[in-house]
Each structure stands twice: as structure tokens, then as C-alpha cells.
Structure 1
């Protein structure tokens, strides 16, 4: 997919998709779309679910608004992400939220530290990871979440 980050063999992230990208996703073997955009966001595509499902893609819309960010919502999104058919495309408006969620999923599965997760982001070419425009509270939230839950995931294994 154009302007996408392949986080691993199961998760690819991008900004807002258009119908042609959904068709391309099917051609490339993707099975699911996880949309993190809220219907009230500028540029939200209301017909996306219908288009995705008509192409045979499993579709979920779980809005992730940064002003409403909390642990329960992130856990819900990660649970859904774990359960949907793979490979999956995760998207938001500009691939900031979607790539953060995908990296968070990988961090928990692999037991990565926040520093290792940031290094993985940079390896992918995820330039937003070091942008000053990212709210420091958001960075802290994801760091704290990784510290709390990556240890739990590793200790269960």
C-alpha cells in the first residue's frame, strides 16, 4: 500500500484510506480493516464499512480520540486487533494513532520496553515518533501502558 508502514507481517498502518486502497488491500491479501477514526472527524469516509465489506474485508471502527484516551479504550482496541483476521490494515487520519496502536501491540506481544518500541518505530521510518508536535502526555501514556502490560504479557509466557 502507498504511504503505509508494515509494522510486521500481520499489521500495516496508514492514514485515511480511499476505495482504491481498499481494493488494493484485498489484492495484497489483507483480510481486515481497523478504522480508528471518529465519524465526526474531518475527512471521515462514512461509506468505508460498506465498501470494505463488499470487497470481502472484515471491518471494525473503534474511534480513538486523543482527548478521550484511557487505558480501557486502548485495551479494547488491542483486544479487537488481536482477534480480527490477519493481515490487517489499521488506519486513522495521518497514521499517527494507527501506527502507535500497532507498535503497542507488537511491544506487548514481544515484551519490548518503551525504548525498544521507539527504536522499532524509527527502524520502520515512522517519523512521527520523534516529532515535537506529538503531545508529551500521549508519549507518556503509551510508555506507561507498555511498562504495565508488557511485563504482564512476558510473565505469563
Structure 2
């Protein structure tokens, strides 16, 4: 079991590293070119960590709120992201979800922010869009009533949750 977990982390992080490199080397044309960008609805989109230029694209696309689920110590975190987003006219909120320890308190805070900003265009990101896609799956399924299979399939376009995240997802569903 432990060997399988170690192997899955090597595969996951190796793939993640390659996605970051590929994204940063590819010429940018628009918002859809942001690392692991996913359009969810007219008022919601998600991605991995955007660059300064990509934050400008997000602002130009009309998003009014940036919600970042990665800790400021994440390896690809953007220093001064809050100041940059604010200078672009967007609200900035950070819920630093620890990768190896997502909590129900994190998810509850996330849901509160999503509800508070529901009428505005909101762009949610983390380092790779893995934390975010899991939280968005749960939010859409548990709070918005989107069918589980539909909400889950959107998450699977980004990744297949590892054991830690699968346990978190199961706990969140059981507690709602």
C-alpha cells in the first residue's frame, strides 16, 4: 500500500512538473491557455497558478474575484499576487489548503466565499488546479445540486484524486 502511494505521488508530481514547464513554454493567446484552465460556467472558471500576464487576461475577461487555494509557500506561487490582483481591480482571497491535509474547515470557508461571491465572476486557482477541482466538484455536487457524475467528470479532466484527497472527498460527502 505504501509503495503504491509513493509511486502514485511520483507519477502525479512528475506529470505536474511537466504540465508547468509545458504551460510556461507555450505561447499565450488567451485565458484558455492558463495552466489547467477549466471553464465551469458563465461566472466560474478554474486553473493552476496564473502568471502576472495571465492575471491581466483574467481581469480583462471580466472576473472580479480571485480565490487562491494554494498556500503562499507553494513552489509556483506568485509573489505579490494579492497586490497584483487588487491593482487590476479584482478582489483577492486566499484559503491556504495544505496539499497533504485538506480539512472540512477549508471546504466550509471555500463554500462561504463561493456563496458570498455567487453573483460575481470568480476565478479559482491553486498550484495545479487539483485542490480546486476537488473543491469545485464537492461544491457543485453538495451545494448546487449538480449531478455527482457530471461534477466528478469535470474534476477527472484535471486529475484522479490520490488516497488523501479521495478520503477527504468521501468525508465531505458523508458529512453533508
TM-score bracket for this pair, using the shorter chain length: 0.7 to 0.9
Query: How big is each residue's C-alpha offset from its partner over 1:83-139, in whole Å with a ceiling of 9 and x where there is no partner?
Result: 1362111111111111222222211233246444323435xxx141x3xxx322312
CA contact under 8 A between 2:133 and 2:154: conserved in structure 1? no
* Alignment match, 1:144: 171
C-alpha displacement at 1:82, in angstroms? Answer: 1.9
d(CA) in 2 for partners of 1:111 and 1:78?
A: 14
Q: Is 1:119 matched up with 2:119?
A: no
- Post-superposition CA distance 1:30-86 (Å, at most 9, x none): 111001111222121121100100010010011011223221221112211221362
Is the alpha carbon distance of 1:59 and 1:137 closer, same or farther for their aligned partners in structure 2, counting shifts above 3 Å? same
Which stretch shifts more, 31-40 or 64-73? 64-73
Cα distance in 1, alignment partners of residues 88 and 147 from structure 2: 38
**Is the 1:11–1:102 contact (alpha carbons within 8 Å) kept by the matching residues of 2?**
no
SS of equivalent residue, structure 2 residue 139: helix
> How high is the TM-score relative to the length of structure 1?
0.79
Give the alignment's TM-score, normalised by structure 2: 0.72
Deviation string 1:8-48 (CA, Å, 9 cap, x unpaired) is 22211111111111111111111110011112221211211
Q: 1:26 aligns with which of 56, 59, 72?
A: 59
Please list every run of 5 or more consecutive structure 2 residues that lacks an aligned counterpart in the other structure.
Answer: 1-30
Distance 1:113 1:26 in 2: 30
Task: Determine the structure 2 residue equivalent to 1:53.
Answer: 86
Aligned residue for 2:89, secondary structure, equals coil
Task: Measure, in 1, the Cα distance between the counterparts of 2:129 and 2:104.
Answer: 20
